[in-house]
A and B are shown apart, each in its own frame.
Chain A
Amino acid sequence: MTDLPLSGVKVLDFTWVVAAPGASRVMADYGATVIRVETTKRIDTARTFGPFHTGEPGPEHSVLFQSMNAGKLGVTLDLSKPEARAVALDLVRWADIVMEAFSPGTVASFGLDYESLRKVKPDLIMLSTCIFGQSGPLSGFAGYGSLAAAISGFYFMTGWPDRPPAGPYNAYTDTVVPRFVLISLLAALDHRRRTGEGVYIDQSHIETALHFLAPAVLDYTVNGRGPVRMGNRHPQIAPHGVYPAAGDDRWVAIVCETDEQWRALCDVIGRPELADDDRFATNAARLAHQDELDAIISAWTAQRDPRDSEGLLQLRGVPASAVERGTDLWADLQLHHRGHFVRAPHATLGDILVEGTRFKLSRTPPRVARAGPTMGQDNQYVLAELLGYSEERIVELVAAGALE
């Protein structure tokens, strides 16, 4: 078996939901051994979210959980029990990296904070992540990525000028943060390799996610101006919109960033005379006549399947895409070509679909060895094989309720 890039890297993952498990998932794809610690006393919220295998909700049916945790070993520990905390300390001795996403202060109450753990393992890399970071007056704020998206500004600038903010779908910041959690951990591994030092990482979802609004922040700090909701319009570019298509709730996104693209669009929609029309000949003119412009484009798109509009416009180099819904994504040949859909074995459901890794390394491609673990699936393997516990000790842990 070829070594994967992160083969030999050991990750102890106490996090949950999406923001940090999404990072350790990628590490597993690239060869790290990741132990995902859960408790049956408070199950991972991701296990309660659809979509669900078999269509039925259930903690072992969540595709979101399976996708976020593919390739990981599953261990259950009830950290309120001292016996479980002793196991956790042994796992820390095993690990290169410890990740946690409890409310700030929780790991200290378990004796598992960085100051305690570095005494056990001086070169430990530990990452703590939560909405607002480990310090400050709002560090105790509880919430999911949807609230983080509201409080960091994404909600206010998503939607229509004449409506309340719509906000981006679901827990948006939870999809920004995993990349940066991964970057932080990889940078810390490199720091440790060069210096021998451990690293402590305090990652606030909001502090990370604000980088995705940086131009808007600068518009305020430099120009004193806040962004506004403007639907799909763009302050500098027209056309720039999502247009109606034939069918129920079907849409196509179209953008012309250059006059050349605009002229091509005019040809495609059978209105070549518009290319030289004073109202539309230049981008500045198009920006000044957006309502008319959008009406003309809509009249054409509304007659067609959005994928036909996409194809006709793309043939002429005009940026366009059908607004893909779930069914379209599953039919998207590009995503299939990319290996976006992967089948991997699950303990009870057989080979199931999970999403693939989003980027490819050409010489050492990712590998999804298994779907996400069932709760406690690997307790025996981890305790007996990785930690070398005796059968007697494992029985005692079970009896003490430590493995729940």
Chain B
Amino acid sequence: QIFGDLGADVIKIEPPGGSPARRIGPFAGDRADDPDASLYWWAYNRNKRGITLDVASAEGRALLLRLVERADFVIESDNPGAMAALGLGYDDLAAVNPGLIYVSITPFGQDGPKASYADSDLVILAASGFIALTGDDDRPPVRVTVPQAYLHASADGAAGALIALWERHRSGRGQQIDVSAQQSMNLATFCSSLVAALGMSENRRLSGGYKYGDYLLRQVFACKDGHVAITFLFGNAMGPFTRRLMEWVHDEGFCDDATRDIDWIGYGELLMHSKVPHDDFEGLKATLESFTRTKTKDELLHAALTKRLLVAPVATIDEVVANDQLAARDYWREIDGVRYPGPFVKFAPQPIEYARPAPRVGEHNREVYVDELGLSDAQFAELQAKGIV
């Protein structure tokens, strides 16, 4: 989809009957049995044409090779070795098209001790180290409710393919891009894979908060209409933001002069050296929350702008969709009356366009097989009759 957004002619190839991704919810109108109603499918197959093909059959494979001859990129996410077993591995396809850039996205990479592992988004989140760091410390590690791991991996795959494309202008040759979702997702741990080697103690999950010495700094506070996230930190960079926040808390009568006047730049050092009584610190967090409870998300966001504070609403999806800033930047795009997240980036002079919605099952079969590959109507009908298309 990233390539489609960038203007490439992308053909999504599905098995006859449609991709298993069409069974991933949520579904438009909760029509779980309708192969064209998966919103997951809609979300990640925009700007593509769609065809069906049984690539495991000899005729299907031959058709695929004809498409490969004209392709710059092939992107696949089958288990390591599965495409090669069908005669469709990188070496097979490079023999047909030496300039081909072949992107393989797998849970753990093409080889290695876990290469054949069964996977799921949650399993990759666990194996990457990400969820060990996410959630409340008195509950199990917790995922983001919307699948994430393959999105990181796919974006890495697109970047790798574009690097290979740049190289191909010089060498004329293609290559294989090997993406491991485990390793891609691991970026979201902020180098926690290195802490043991450095002899440091591991970070633990802290409800989105931070640990300063023995003290747990929260990041999420209740407010009048939900929750708000506050980067409540200290030191030269962050301390001034905290000072301005506490000045506001003071102005509204929620803390005394002494609290306002704490040295918020040096406060982190006091915490690191356990020089703040724990009751005082807990009291401080309670004071802050008693203040935020009197404000709405909107009031807090606008104060963040006018007073220069590190404060942001914990937005619900309806609030995200109604966000003034996104509207002002003309972010949202509609296709067939459905509103989608808009372009991932604003390019000038040539902006991203949303030209077409995700394809229906086999929507472009005739266009591709007859109009472009030049099959006769009879040949096309025969492929359909055999269930290859």
Contact = CB atoms under 8 A, between A and B. Distances in A.
Nearest to A152: B320
Where chain A touches its partner, the secondary structure class is mixed
Contacts of A220: 317-318, 321
24 contacts: A42-B237, A51-B192, A143-B312, A155-B208, A164-B227, A167-B134, A178-B187, A182-B159, A183-B159, A201-B346, A207-B326, A207-B329, A213-B317, A216-B146, A232-B142, A242-B141, A261-B118, A321-B123, A323-B131, A330-B194, A335-B182, A335-B183, A353-B198, A363-B175
Contacts of A243: 140
B127 interface: yes
A359 B324 contact: no
A167 B144 CA distance: 8
A214 B208 contact: no
A380 B242 CA distance: 38
A153 B156 contact: no
Interface residues of A, number: 157
Interface stretch (A81-89, A248-256, A285-293): A248-256
A200 interface: yes
A119 interface: no
Interface string A189-213: 1110100010111111011101111
Interface string B315-336: 1111011011110110100000
A359 B111 contact: no
A212 B194 contact: no
Interface string A43-55: 1010011111111
Interface string A118-160: 0000000000000011011111111110111111111111111
Interface in A1-50: 3, 5-6, 9, 18, 22, 26, 30, 42-43, 45, 48-50
Interface in B24-56: 24-26, 28-30, 39-40, 42-44
Given A142-B310, A215-B26, A55 B315 contact: no
B314 interface: yes
A143 B343 contact: no
Interface of B: 2, 6, 24-26, 28-30, 39-40, 42-44, 90, 108-109, 111-115, 117-120, 122-136, 139-146, 148, 151-152, 155-160, 162-167, 169-170, 173, 175-180, 182-184, 186-200, 202-205, 207-208, 219-220, 222, 227-229, 231, 235, 237, 241, 301, 304-305, 308, 310-318, 320-321, 323-326, 328-329, 331, 338-350
A291 B337 CA distance: 40
Contacts of A176: 151-152, 155
Contacts of A206: 325-326
Given A158-B145, A199-B348, A251-B140, A50 B123 contact: no
Contacts of B203: 326
Given A159-B207, A212-B146, A353-B198, 14 more contacts: A48-B237, A51-B198, A55-B198, A132-B325, A151-B313, A163-B139, A171-B190, A226-B316, A314-B118, A324-B127, A326-B189, A327-B196, A330-B195, A355-B194
